[in-house]
Amino acid sequence: MTKQGKKLLLHLSLAVLGVFLVIHYWATIATWFSDIYKAILPCIIGAVIAYLINILMRFYERHYFTKKNPPFAQKSRTAVCLICAILTILCVIVGIIVLIVPQLISCVKLIVQQAPKGVEALLKNDKIVQYLPESVYDWLANWREKLTDQAFWSDFVAKATAFLKTGLGSTGSKITSALTSTASTIGSVVIGIVFAIYYLACRGSIQRNVNRLAANYLKPTVREKLFHYASVFNDCFHKYIVAQCLEALILGSLCLVGMLILRLPYAPMISALVCLMALVPIVGATISAVIGTVMILAVSPVQAVIFFAMLMVVQVIEGNLIFPKVVGKSVGAPGLIVFAAVTVGGSIFGIPGMMVSVPAATAVFNELRADMTNREQQKGAAQCDAAETASEE
């Protein structure tokens, strides 16, 4: 057997052995990976937070004494821009909470107050009742009587109190587990925030050390490819996040203006909700439309229909007229690829998967398109050279 044949046989044997070990010890390996994931989860959360804050931080850096650039500005640029970015995010979070929470509480109270009246009006409407199954009608009638019966609420309070006194012991382990998981998640987020702030404060030195490591331990061709792919992915993620935030802000503003003009209830809250849900690709706008319609339905069915129609018109105007001109084609992938990325990412990782899969798929698509264009140009140039050589002969 030749030397190359022996080398190939050795590689195949090692590959087969590796597959066998992975299959045989899969439970142990899965436990190791789970432990490693839990250990590095705060770092992952911190990296995501740092990336988002860095977008705002770079915006402030571009506008912080860019013309004269005195010595104190050079020394304080990182700290001042980092503080401004963090304060901006905190102000946005507090503003959303102030807009949503109070009106959400009032809406829930209104739904609770109007539910018995709504059920009673429904049961008195002969046109609707004739299409209801008998079981549904009986259930609604019993539910209406319970809601208007004072004894039902007294019994409910008594049972809830008894559960808190005696039944809590049987579910104590589940509650303890839930509290432990919540505390662990909060701890990971806090550590991630600290990690993100530390990284952003030392961003320059970290980048220089990464460049030194790559220069000393990677071949030039490998280093160039890694930096190129990292630049492509970073550019796609940056453009996508900025585009989605700007689109969400425009959609929320248009929704607020439309609701104020039509004098619809819960205008600030629903507009803030529409703005938030617009960050989720494809399905976010639909979810916000359904939630807003249900909330306004508790006040007036006619206004709920008006809101739904208004939001559909606003989405069409924003998606076809405003967004292409203001944002441009920042996400250069076809709609089919975006839809497939949202479906796959959402089914595996939920909403975070939806938000990450779209720019990732866009980066892969753009890189493949650029590589195919480059190959086609090289083939065309080679064919032209061959034709010129043939014509000279």
Q: Which of 171, 195, 217 is the last residue of a domain?
A: 217
Smallest Cα–Cα separation from 286: which of 310, 304, 312?
312
* pLDDT tens-place values along the chain, 393 residues long: 677 777 778 888 888 888 888 788 888 888 888 888 888 888 888 888 999 899 888 888 888 777 766 777 777 888 888 899 999 999 988 888 888 888 777 777 776 666 666 666 666 666 666 666 666 666 666 665 655 555 655 666 666 666 655 554 555 556 666 667 777 778 888 888 888 988 888 888 888 898 888 888 888 888 888 888 888 888 888 888 888 888 888 888 888 899 899 888 888 888 888 888 888 766 777 888 888 888 888 778 788 889 989 988 888 887 677 666 655 455 566 667 777 777 788 777 777 777 788 788 888 888 888 888 888 888 777 777 666 666 665
Quote the pLDDT of residue 125.
Answer: 65
The count of structural domains within the chain is 2
CB 255 within 8 A of CB 274: yes
Same domain, yes or no, for 207 and 253? no
Helix (H, G, I), strand (E, B) or coil at 335: helix
Using a 10 angstrom Cβ sphere, with 0-12 exposed, 13-18 middle and 19 or more buried, the burial of residue 9 is: exposed
Residue-range definition of the domain harbouring residue 68: 41-150+183-217
Q: Which of 199, 217, 235 is the last residue of a domain?
A: 217
Quote the pLDDT of residue 87.
Answer: 92
Same domain, yes or no, for 234 and 332? yes
Examine residue 67 and state whether it is found in any structural domain, yes or no.
yes
DSSP string, 206-234: HHHHHHHHHHHHS-HHHHHHHHHHHHHHH
Examine residue 25 and state whether it is found in any structural domain, yes or no.
no
Examine residue 376 and state whether it is found in any structural domain, yes or no.
yes
Question: Does pTM surpass 0.75?
Answer: no
